[in-house]
């Protein structure tokens, strides 16, 4: 019995080693895989056979490896079967994407919803409808859903959303509220999750940083700043997310800019969000707020399936108007961005002193506003850090903008599939049937 | 040849496994070691024999393991041979300690030196004299020095001290300036470092956090705050020091409390050091500064060899005077601590939001001032963090005070000896001679 368990766990580990190596160095031959991994050719061939049957790997061509022997067939990850759902609840929108194992974005939709006006249950009802549609479309394209991660705008610890001050939510077990989903998503194709619809919950800023790592152009060492109505940050060091002691690190939005500044929804005063959060920015620029939020249910411009990464899930109308005014040189819009950039520079100075990040990547609403915000932020940082540090970290713009969290959420599921594909094959291998 | 290298590296690894296990579970028998590590009894006996010959392990008694067989001899780490030097350059003192492999402090001395009035070369000349004395005394006690780490009050990257604003030092290759030491420390006993006197340089705040981890009573998750003339911090998560991307994390002293506050030596304004650093505190309490610094060469009260951890390397006279006035209820002293505590609370609020530490341990000068500083700091943190976080991290007082960095510096060398004892035995095994 012990032997059997050992054999199973060794097989599981080896499957992960082979699939990870195919992702890292594909297209690659079975012979090369055996050489790199140290596994025997027989083991590699058996593993590859199982991974092909599970739709995770595909043969892509042939390659003559030097002068030796006959040419080998090359293997790469396959995007035809396994996919993951990335989900996001933010203050003024919901967003869903489907990403396949090759990290190709197969579907993306966002919906403007003022979640501040909703109870958690109402918001999750809206979200479940979006998920339902996404799952249906994914299945119609022949995909099976390996799992999902839900990004929420606040610190999460063990599935519990402690507090999302911008939503007015506190101590919400978001995962439990998703349980109704299992019944809704209909008959599951063989190979899909066996029990409850699997939803893990994680902080939006952490997932945005992982999205930037896997889908963006960021190097392995960076601080990703998510500017939304709230502001969060995720630190990646050596390709690994820094989560702190309980996963609550990176709350840049509540770093103190001025101790006696305006009151913040978190209960503090003078937090960065009160100067550089989306609402503070729009208010300072004289853009009317309530009108800027479309009615629940209205699709955002630019949303819909099939858009490639970088296109953005859509820019809220008030933000688009702010960008227009900035382009025209509107004085109060420029002043608002300068004030926000200065405050961002103050908070980032404290963050650089504490976290020692590599590059700083500005995402979310800071991506479209980068040309106007980055200058003042950079000047503030240079003035305060330049004498002590040899080099002040560079500010870069995120290519993903507001999509980073949803992509990171899906990517997290796929990372786990690649690390342990057996878990998604055990009950998941389709009956190949007659061919 | 490849085989030989493999054999050597396996031996090195197994020596580390055996010694680490003796440290973790000693007193322990050879039979128990074989069972825990999975190595054969023959291998364990051979390794233990080598470790005893190298003076790293000693037999402590006998233990009957249940009813089976004859009683086994128990083994534990030995403090009789291998030791490390912990060194510190701070703004107003130098400090040296000798710690043996069992983490017993064998020697400690501190000297008041106003290093702001010295060039780096002058400071290191003072330090080399202290080291010389410490090495002589350690050798006289039969100890061999496995290496040393030097704590400096500023960010270090690859042996280069970028900037120690409170010393006025910038881009100093401190390690290189210690090269003269090799000639000074005299004839080396067999088993000591073979080449140059080994000095690694590391940030004081990082080493103080490690000191708290290994010598203090802190749990595995904490932020250690070193209050000196400068203020640094070191974050430990799951027993591991978080260093950031280039080892420059934890500069709590330059977290911004008030953006337009007083100018700081770092080039910024309104940094925490300007409110809660030792000088700012003494100035606010009306204590004359220049008189508070003893002349170079004068020993600090409480310094000298043989003091156990927790005794403190001595409290500077002006600080002792501040504590006296606080105990007497002096109004300006109390106001100064309240102001410093509030500022510390503001900076820690930002740090908690970014780093998500476990407990917060206040060390350095904050240890003797804890009764007066911790209350205002705690109130400020609770008011700003309480609504968003389920629990605000607790404030605890360091048992080590100003000794934490020097102890951590020595502990770091000993950690490496235990992980790879072979490196310290290859040229280090003493000729046992006739017995």
SS3 of chain B: helix, strand, coil, percent, to 5: 40, 20, 35
Q: Which fold has domain A82-206+407-416?
A: Nucleotidyltransferase; domain 5 (3.30.420)
**Cβ neighbour number for residue A394 with a 10 Å cutoff:** 12
B374-384 confidence digits (pLDDT tens)? 999 999 999 99
In contact, B370 and B362? CB cutoff 8 Å:
yes
Residue of A nearest to B225 (CA): A354
Nearest Cβ partner of A245 from B247, B349, B358? B358
Residue B315: the pLDDT is 66
User: Can you tell me which residue has the tokens 């519990």?
Assistant: A160
The alpha carbon of B343 is separated from its chain's Cα centroid by a whole number of angstroms, namely 26
The position carrying tokens 């520079």 is A345
Cross-chain residue pair A244–B388, CB shorter than 8 Å: no
The answer to whether the Cβ–Cβ distance between B388 and A163 falls below 8 Å is: yes
Q: Per-residue DSSP letters for B411-424?
A: HHHHHHHHH-GGGG
Q: Which residue has the higher pLDDT, B9 or B1?
A: B9
d(CA B340, CA B326): 14
- The rounded distance, in Å, linking the Cα atoms of B282 and A47 is 69
Instruction: Tell me the average pLDDT across A57-80.
Output: 83
Helix and strand tally (H, E) in chain B?
A: 13, 16
Pick from A23, A333, A353, A42: nearest CA to B257: A353
Which backbone phi and psi does A218 adopt, to 5 degrees? Answer: -70, 150
Task: State yes or no: pLDDT of B401 exceeds 70.
Answer: yes
Instruction: Find the helix packing angle between A331-355 and B331-355, rounded to 10°.
Output: 100
Give the pLDDT confidence score for residue B429 in this predicted structure: 42
How confident is residue B430, by pLDDT bands cut at 50, 70 and 90? very low
Band (pLDDT 50/70/90 cuts) for residue B160 is: confident
What is the per-residue pLDDT for B195? 65
Q: What's the mean pLDDT when you consider all of chain B?
A: 85
For residues B296-303, give the mean pLDDT. 37
Model confidence at B388, in pLDDT bands (50, 70, 90)? confident
For residue A354, give the nearest of B268, B354, B389 by CB distance. Answer: B354
How many other C-beta atoms can be found within 10 angstroms of the C-beta atom of residue B8? 12
Nearest to A254 among B163, B221, B353 (CB): B353
Q: Does A325 touch chain B (CB under 8 A)?
A: no
ipTM of model over 0.90: no
CB contacts, 8 Å: B267 with chain A: 383-388
Q: How far apart are CA A252 and CA B10, in angstroms?
A: 46
Mean pLDDT of A92-108: 94
Tokens 């066996």, residue located: A194
Whether the CB-CB separation of A259 and B346 falls below 8 Å is answered with yes
Q: Can you tell me whether residue B282 is helix, strand or coil?
A: helix
Cβ–Cβ gap B266/A383 under 8 Å: no
Q: DSSP code of A356? A: -
**Which residue of chain B is at minimal alpha-carbon distance from A170?**
B388
Q: How far is A356 from chain B (nearest CA, A)?
A: 5
Q: Does B344 score more than 70 pLDDT?
A: yes
Mean pLDDT of A272-287: 95
Higher-confidence position of A402 and A408: A408
> What residues pair up with B99 in beta bridges, in sequence order?
B84, B105
Domain A2-78 in CATH 3.30.70.260: no
> Is A361 part of the contact surface with chain B (CB cutoff 8 Å)?
no
B13 — pLDDT class (breaks 50, 70, 90): confident
Residue A269 φ/ψ, nearest 5 degrees: -135, 150
Q: Does B53 touch chain A (CB under 8 A)?
A: no
A376-398 pLDDT, tens digit per residue, is: 999 999 999 977 777 899 999 99
The strand pair at A231-237 and A222-227 is best described as: antiparallel
Give yes or no for residue B261 having a pLDDT over 70: yes
Quickly state the pLDDT bin for B219 (edges 50, 70, 90). confident
SS3 B183: helix
- pLDDT attached to residue A66: 59
pLDDT tens digits for A283-342?
999 996 554 444 333 333 333 333 333 334 456 788 999 999 999 999 999 999 999 999
Q: How confident is the model at residue B63 (pLDDT cuts 50, 70, 90)?
A: confident
Q: Which of A246, A249, A388 sits opposite B354 (nearest CB)?
A: A249
What tokens does B306 get? 């043989």
**Chain A residues touching residue B382 (CB < 8 angstroms):** none
pLDDT at A69: 64
Q: How confident is the model at residue A84 (pLDDT cuts 50, 70, 90)?
A: very high
Other residues' Cβ atoms within 10 Å of the Cβ of residue B326: 19
Q: Say which residue, B435 or B328, is predicted with more confidence.
A: B328
| Range of weakest confidence among A255-259, B16-20, B289-293 | B289-293
pLDDT of residue A414: 97
The token pair at B124 is 């290191």
Checking phi first, is residue A244 left (phi over 0); if not, alpha (psi -120 to 50) or beta?
left
Q: Where are the domains of chain A?
A: 2-78, 82-206+407-416, 210-295+308-402
A432 pLDDT band (50/70/90 cuts)?
very low
Q: Do domains B82-206+407-416 and B214-402 have the same CATH topology?
A: yes
- Quote the mean pLDDT of chain A: 85
Top-confidence range, A303-307, B178-182, B290-294: B178-182
Of B390, B382, B357, B383, nearest to A171 by C-alpha is B390
Q: Cβ of A248 under 8 Å from any chain B Cβ?
A: yes
Kindly state the tokens that stand for B110: 């501190």
Q: Does A258 touch chain B (CB under 8 A)?
A: yes
> What CA–CA distance (Å, rounded) separates A23 from A38?
17
Any idea which fold A210-295+308-402 has?
A: Nucleotidyltransferase; domain 5 (3.30.420)
At residue A393's C-alpha, the angle toward residues A390 and A396, to 5°, is 150
Alpha helical stretches, state H, B82-227: 120-140, 174-177, 181-184, 204-215
| H or E, element range at A335 | helix A331-355
A391 at the B interface (CB within 8 A)? no
How far B164 CA sits from the closest chain A CA (Å)? Answer: 8
Options 2.40.128.20, 3.40.50.720, 3.30.420.40, 1.10.10.1590; CATH for B214-402 is: 3.30.420.40
Lowest mean pLDDT among A20-29, A69-78, A232-241, B96-105: A69-78
B138: nearest Cα among B194, B176, B188, B204: B188
Would you call B246 helix, strand, or coil by DSSP?
coil
Check pLDDT > 50 for residue A40: yes
Neighbours of B4 (CB within 10 A): 8
The pLDDT of residue B311: 35
Q: What is the mean pLDDT of residues A33-47?
A: 91
């Amino acid at each position: 019995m012990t032997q059997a368990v050992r054999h199973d766990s060794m097989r599981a580990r080896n499957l992960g080693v082979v699939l990870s190596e195919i992702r890292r160095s594909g297209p690659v031959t079975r012979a090369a895989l055996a050489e790199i991994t140290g596994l025997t050719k027989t083991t590699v061939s058996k593993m590859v056979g199982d991974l092909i049957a599970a739709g995770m790997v595909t043969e892509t061509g042939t390659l003559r490896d030097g002068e030796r022997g006959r040419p080998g067939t090359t293997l790469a990850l396959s995007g035809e079967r396994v996919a993951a759902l990335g989900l996001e609840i933010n203050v003024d929108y919901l967003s869903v994407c489907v990403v396949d194992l090759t990290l190709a974005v197969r579907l993306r939709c966002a919906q403007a919803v003022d979640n501040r006006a909703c109870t958690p249950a109402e918001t999750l009802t809206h979200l479940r409808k979006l998920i339902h549609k996404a799952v249906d479309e994914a299945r119609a394209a022949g995909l099976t859903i390996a799992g999902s991660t839900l990004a929420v705008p606040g610190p999460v610890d063990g599935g519990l959303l402690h507090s999302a001050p911008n939503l007015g939510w506190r101590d919400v077990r978001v995962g439990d509220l998703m349980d109704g989903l299992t019944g809704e998503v209909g008959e599951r194709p063989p190979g899909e999750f066996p029990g409850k619809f699997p939803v893990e919950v994680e902080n939006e800023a952490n997932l945005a940083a992982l999205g930037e790592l896997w889908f963006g152009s960021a190097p392995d060492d960076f601080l990703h700043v998510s500017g939304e109505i709230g502001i969060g940050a995720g630190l990646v060091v050596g390709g690994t997310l820094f989560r702190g002691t309980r996963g609550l690190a990176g709350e840049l939005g509540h770093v103190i800019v001025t101790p006696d500044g305006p009151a913040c929804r978190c209960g503090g005063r003078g937090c960065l969000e009160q100067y550089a959060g989306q609402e503070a920015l729009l208010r300072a620029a004289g853009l009317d707020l309530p009108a800027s939020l479309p009615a629940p249910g209205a699709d955002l411009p630019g949303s819909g399936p099939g858009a490639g990464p970088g296109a953005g899930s859509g820019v809220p109308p008030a933000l688009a108007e702010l960008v227009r005014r900035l382009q025209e040189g509107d004085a109060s819009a420029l002043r608002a961005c300068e004030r926000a950039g200065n405050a961002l520079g103050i908070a980032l100075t404290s963050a650089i002193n504490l976290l020692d990040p590599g590059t700083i990547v500005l995402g979310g609403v800071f991506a479209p506003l980068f040309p106007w915000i980055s200058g003042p932020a950079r000047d503030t940082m240079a003035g305060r850090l330049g004498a002590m540090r040899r080099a002040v970290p560079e500010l870069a713009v995120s290519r993903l903008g507001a999509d980073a969290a949803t992509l990171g959420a899906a990517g997290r599921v796929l990372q786990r599939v690649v690390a342990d594909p057996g878990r998604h094959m055990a009950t998941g291998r389709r009956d190949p049937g007659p061919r």
